A and B are shown apart, each in its own frame.
Chain A
Amino acid sequence: MTTTIDPPERRETAADKLRQGRHAISERWHHAPRWVRWVLLVAVIAFFYALPNKEFYQYLGPIPTPGANFTQVMFTVSIYVLLAVGLNIVVGFAGLLDLGYFGFFAVGAYTVAVLTSPSSDLKTLWPWLAVVAIAIGLTMVSGVMLGTPTLRLRGDYLALVTLGFAEMIRIAAVSSEFLKGQRGFNQIPHPPGQYADGRPWFGVLDARPYYWLVLTLIILVVIGVRNLTHSRVGRAWISIREDEDAAQLMGVPTFKFKLWAFASGAAIAGLAGALFAGKQNFVNSQNFELLNSIIILAAVIFGGSGNIVGAIVGGGLVAYMIERFRGIELFGIELYEYRFLFFGLVLVVMMIFRPQGLIPNRRRAAEFKDRRKEVIVGE
């Protein structure tokens, strides 16, 4: 007998039930009339545009963060959502384990810093808007440079190399004279635009305009990513995730599409980095701890990978929860200090109840069996 896959009489696991639950929701959504979907979508978007206004969020009970300016928190959350959407392309769709995604965010932020800040050795002092495109371009290039040698290989190489990449960027940021280490870059210009009375749209005190800008860009990016995933490109990505050998043998140029997944993911991180730099006004080496890469990856796992809505929810919830802990004391313990412990716990629980998590376990299996698969003949 040849080995067969998934015997149909398999026992139902909790993971299956969860999957079915998710399936039921998406079924409902897909069977709802078009206008219902649009109304819901518009309502959700309107809600998030309204969210950072005090007049609105004061009625939302426990949602606003007690320990931090809620509008600032919402900006951070929106950046994480953007990053999760980008990483989801790489990990969720193409199934490439990228452990150093935050490195691309750093490349984007530092590109803006170096080209716009008066503290920079270059002294170019270019405006923010002009540099955004350069930042995105450079992160894409760094993604391609990193991907070209590594994406040809299978297995865990990519995870290691990306991890190394993020760490390299961080160390460069800490120790290179050019990148200014702890001192960092200040007076990074804000995005352009001003009101009739001369006040800028994007000031220092009010984080709302930045949040709205990021929210708008998230919507555009999601439309773009959706277009890709609902096309030949997305099918190629998923087929690579599901079975890379079979994909190649069905005519998918897998290396090319993996590189595209990597480059698109990097571009989105670059955009996020540029937005972050434009808002913060200040960039230094402390902004780019390795932990951030892990948080985003965890967010994608948490939300359900390979699903754009999942990534948005995951990125948003994870970033929000971390901030939500600020200023909460329990038995004299400041919960914020233990945020990652809690976070790890949540992930462990997730892994127990949804072990196939973000990288479908089939891929895992494929890595071990890989080519030998063809030879395996039972009995």
Chain B
Amino acid sequence: MSDTEQTPAVPAQAAAPAVETVDKREPLLEVDHVTLRFGGVVALNDVDFTLYKGEILGLIGPNGAGKTTCFNAMTGIYQPTEGQIRFLGQKISGKKRHQITRMGMARTFQNIRLFPEMTALENVQVGADAHHKTSVIAALLRLPRHWKEEREGREKAERLLEFVGISNRMHEFARNLSYGEQRRLEIARALATDPKLLCLDEPAAGFNPAEKEELLQLIRQIRDQGVTVLLIEHDMRLVMGVTDRIVVLEFGKKIAEGLPAEVRDNPKVVAAYLGVPDDAA
């Protein structure tokens, strides 16, 4: 690994919050010996880890390691071939995707998937609608519930756009936003569903160092508001700086787990990343 000289203060910093969360050890998400096959391809092979409330867990690994597949299994896009995933103690399998979201799991996508022909505000409002109960009849007749939820949703969306720093682009179509703004909008939209767990799939892909630093700041703020974060990232340095713990995947297998400093010095991880520079996303 070529980055050992970078950011020497980071491991110590990251270790501090880990200790306090580890003490509580309240599991939020349990990935329990999950195997997932696509025909012959074993995308996840007996992957097993637990995510505790209040922590920022990094999920790293080379391209094609199965990180995104792991997200997809968690959010109900794929069913595990073997094993199970529990969120708040409840089995995920068999639940509809929108139900999983309502239970408190929200995500962003590696390849941005906004609603391009909706404004930034509307994109976030869709997220806020996850917990709204206005029926078609109530909307048709504009019953009080419609007005109440509409106002709530709008205020929440405005607040979140402010939070991620793009409130000046509120009424712009999502497709017209810059790449960085779109990434931020995805985070705002996910946060609007009131997640207990926020899963970010390479949120810093394509960012320059300054933008990455801002994003780190944002992720910390999100955690400080009580949201647990699962972060997929390629950039080792970014992961080191912000995560409490790290799980490393390679070829669908978990090869390491632990504090950032431990993982970084783990020979298996070093081998997995050998020849792969940090920022070759």
Contacts and interface: CB of A to CB of B under 8 A. Distances in A.
B206 A224 contact: no
B126 A254 contact: no
Chain B: interface size category? 35 or more
Interface stretch (A3-11, A178-186, A323-331, A347-355): A3-11
A245 B146 CA distance: 25
Most A C-beta atoms less than 10 A away, residue of B107, B114, B117, B189: B117
A232 B107 contact: no
Interface string A322-347: 00000000000000000000000000
A242 B64 CA distance: 27
A250 interface: yes
Given A232-B150, A242-B118, A252-B126, A4 B136 contact: no
B116 A246 contact: no
B130 interface: yes
B111 A3 contact: yes
- Describe A's contact surface by its main secondary structure: helix
Contact of B111 (A227, A232, A374): A374
A362 interface: yes
B116 A252 contact: no
Given A224-B140, A374-B72, A249 B101 contact: yes
B126 A235 contact: yes
A252 B125 contact: no
Contacts of A375: 68
Given A2-B205, A228-B136, A362 B116 contact: yes
A1 interface: yes
Contacts of B77: 245, 249, 371, 374
A2 B115 contact: no
A374 B68 contact: yes
A257 B267 CA distance: 51
A250 B126 contact: yes
Contact of A4 (B139, B140, B142, B206): B206
A235 B97 contact: no
Interface string A189-232: 00000000000000000000000000000000000100110011
A56 B150 CA distance: 44
B98 A253 contact: yes
Contacts of A247: 115, 126
B98 A6 contact: no
A235 B117 CA distance: 11
Contacts of B153: 232
A246 B136 contact: no
Nearest to B77: A371
Interface string A1-43: 1111110100000000000000000000000000000000000
B129 A246 contact: no
Contacts of B91: none
A250 B150 contact: no
Given A251-B127, A251-B193, A4 B118 contact: no
A362 B117 CA distance: 10
**Closest CB pairs A-B (n = 3):** A251-B130, A231-B139, A242-B115
Given A371-B77, A376-B111, 6 more contacts: A5-B116, A227-B142, A228-B140, A232-B134, A248-B97, A251-B102
Interface of A: 1-6, 8, 224, 227-228, 231-236, 238-239, 241-243, 245-254, 260, 264, 306, 360, 362, 371, 373-377
